[in-house]
Copies of this chain bind each other. A is one copy, B any other.
Amino acid sequence: MSNTYKLGIVGYGGMATWHHQNMDRAPQVIPYAVYDIDPERTAIGAERGLKPYDSLDAILADEDIDIILLTCPNNFHAEYSIRAMRAGKNVICEKPVTMNSDELIEVIRAKQETGMHFSVHQNRRWDGDYLTVKNVLSQGILGEPFVIRSKVLGSRGVPEGWRTHKETGGGMMLDWGVHLLDQIVMMIPENIVRVTSRMYHTSYEEVDDGFIADFEFESGLVASVEVDTVAFVNEPRWIVRGDSGSMIIENWDIDGKIVRAADKNTVWEDEILYTSAGPTKTMAPRTRFSEETLELPVVKADWMEFYHNFAAVLDGTEEPLVLPGQNLYIMKLMESCFRSSDERRTIELDFTLEQLVQDPLSVAKSVEV
């Protein structure tokens, strides 16, 4: 095995094009072959220099290929991952890794049996807005956090096609939720104990066109994630409140600010805010002198780090960054969200991230007993 790895791409749509366009930034990985169920898409890949194949078996039989990139619809991820690993290929799988946790457990079994490297392209672990929030929290700039809200809103509805169907893994929880839940879990080093969620079904009954989900951590901190495709007025990407300050990140460009109490012991002067309906002392603004505004300590990163890490794992020089046990945890969190919404109640979690990372199949074993 050399220090460069040949990549075979399975499914050549929008995401595959994005990967392909960026591959020159990860010289360890060489785009090499393509197969799409639609021959026209395979042909487009071939025009762009990839060796075309007309079946999954054929591309998997190419002994030159080290890594299979799965950028096909979600309902193919599990089967194709398993077939690829059994054919001796390492696998990079797009998100969501599978349709549900049962499928993922089968994928993890195949990984353990074959010893191949399998990792999910959780590219949004390298988003600057998320890393900036993580940085602020880890530095304790806001004091003890008690509210974290992560929001991604659009007004175009769910894109037509497979995303609107349940059997192809459509809906916004699987599309965006899988990223935003992963960020929350990677950001807060605590166990989640309870989940309360609600799916929006504004346009589609079959799949959620948005959702809101509250994750309660052991400390009582609640992180909320919201996605909506029927929101005509945008809202900030992040709001975080701690006991000594708040943070806002407006958008993907990481515009925003931190506002903190300059004196923690508020002196109550006789300042009153007169609203049209009556006076309020509680909601009067602070004086300028008792708060300070800080610039965001922006952190930026590059999602190509995922590819560098994947190659380094194959080299034997790094541990993998995205672990199947983490994906299984997120998958089970998402399943808890669906259950919470269906049953209109809060779900108490009976699994932890640590448990699933250390022994992903522990969940499967307990089912088999």
Partner-B contacts on A (CB < 8 A): 14-15, 18, 123-124, 126-128, 144, 146-147, 152-160, 163, 172, 175-176, 194, 196, 198, 200, 202-203, 216, 222, 228-233, 235-236, 239, 241, 243, 245-248, 252, 257, 259-261, 266, 268, 272, 275-286, 291, 300, 303, 344-346
Contacts and interface: CB of A to CB of B under 8 A. Distances in A.
A146 B202 contact: yes
B277 A124 contact: yes
14 contacts: A18-B279, A123-B278, A126-B277, A154-B280, A155-B246, A156-B283, A158-B282, A160-B268, A198-B222, A203-B243, A229-B282, A231-B241, A233-B241, A235-B239
A279 B146 CA distance: 32
A282 B127 contact: no
Contacts of A239: 233, 235
Return the 8 tightest CB-CB contacts between A and B, nearest first. A232-B246, A232-B259, A154-B283, A233-B246, A233-B248, A202-B243, A127-B277, A252-B275
A137 B238 CA distance: 28
Contacts of A18: 278-279
A277 B261 CA distance: 33
B282 A172 contact: yes
Contacts of A203: 243
B277 A123 contact: yes
Contacts of A230: 146, 241, 243
B281 A159 contact: yes
A50 to B, nearest CB: 19
A279 to B, nearest CB: 5
Contacts of A156: 266, 268, 281-284, 286
B279 A14 contact: yes
B246 A231 contact: yes
Contacts of A268: 156, 159-160
Contact of A282 (B175, B196, B198): B175
A281 B285 CA distance: 40
Contacts of A257: 233
A14 B271 CA distance: 11
Contacts of A154: 280, 282-285
A202 to B, nearest CB: 5
B303 A127 contact: no
B233 A259 contact: yes
Which of A154, A232, A283 has the most chain B CB atoms closer than 10 A to its own CB? A232
Nearest to A265: B157
A232 B245 contact: yes
Given A146-B202, A283-B153, A232 B241 contact: yes
B344 A155 contact: no
